[in-house]
Amino acid sequence: MTERRVKMLFICTGNSARSQMAEGLTRAMSDGQVECYSAGTEPKPIHPLAIRAMAEVGLDISKNVSKGLAQFLDEDFDYVISVCARAAETCPTWPRSREQIRWHFDDPAERRSEEDRLRVFRRVRNEIQQRLSLMMLAAKIPMKAEGEQGMNRVIFACVHNAGQSQMAAAFFNTMADPQKALATAAGARPYRSR
């Protein structure tokens, strides 16, 4: 008996950058274990700098097509993830999803110069990849192994490392597969009891 693949939908306003990058990254990171799609509240053509930023990490999204939300409204999803604030505000509560998640990433297309836009596209791509890694580890979604050992390491940091980062690391470690991920906590000015 084969396991059912996790099904995800990424939403942003134009389905031209952030949601397309999230879809491409998820496909690559999950090694086929996640059935993923992306859509926009107001679809526009895929931004050339999104294609370029993804090509820099070996992923080709040049053949992807922008899609509207309507074609997915009758589908069941495990996760519906909005990757921009505007889409999160205008997107309906997804009636057929196990969980709806709202992430906010800067709109890289809003910058003035192409150099600035490309820098922000790269940063947003990396932020999406980091967020997906944490989410997939916590949800125990199989991922391609990183590095030789196949162990992903996560650091939760706060100023004193006295509470929030400790709790986050402990919680993460209870949720993640210990063979694939390990979280630790750190602080810039660790609190020391006297």
How far the first Cα of the chain sits from its last, in Å, is 58
Q: What is the dihedral of CA 173, 8, 12, 169, to 10 degrees?
A: 0
Q: Hey, what amino acid is at 91? A: C
Please tell me which residue in 9, 12, 54, 158 is annotated as part of the active site.
Answer: 12
Which two tokens mark 55? Answer: 């090509």
Please tell me which residue in 6, 51, 53, 91 is annotated as part of the active site.
Answer: 91
Q: Is 36 a catalytic residue?
A: no
Distance CA 45, CA 107 (A): 15
- Tell me how crowded residue 143 is: count the other CB atoms within 10 A of its CB: 22
Computed from CA positions of residues 106, 109, 115, 118, in that sequence, does the dihedral angle turn out positive or negative? positive
Q: Is 12 a catalytic residue?
A: yes
Which two tokens mark 155? Answer: 């650091």
In terms of Cβ atoms closer than 10 Å to its own Cβ (0-12, 13-18, 19+), residue 94 is buried
Please tell me which residue in 22, 46, 53, 84 is annotated as part of the active site.
Answer: 84
Q: How far is CA 84 from the centre of its chain?
A: 11
Catalytic residues: 12, 84, 91
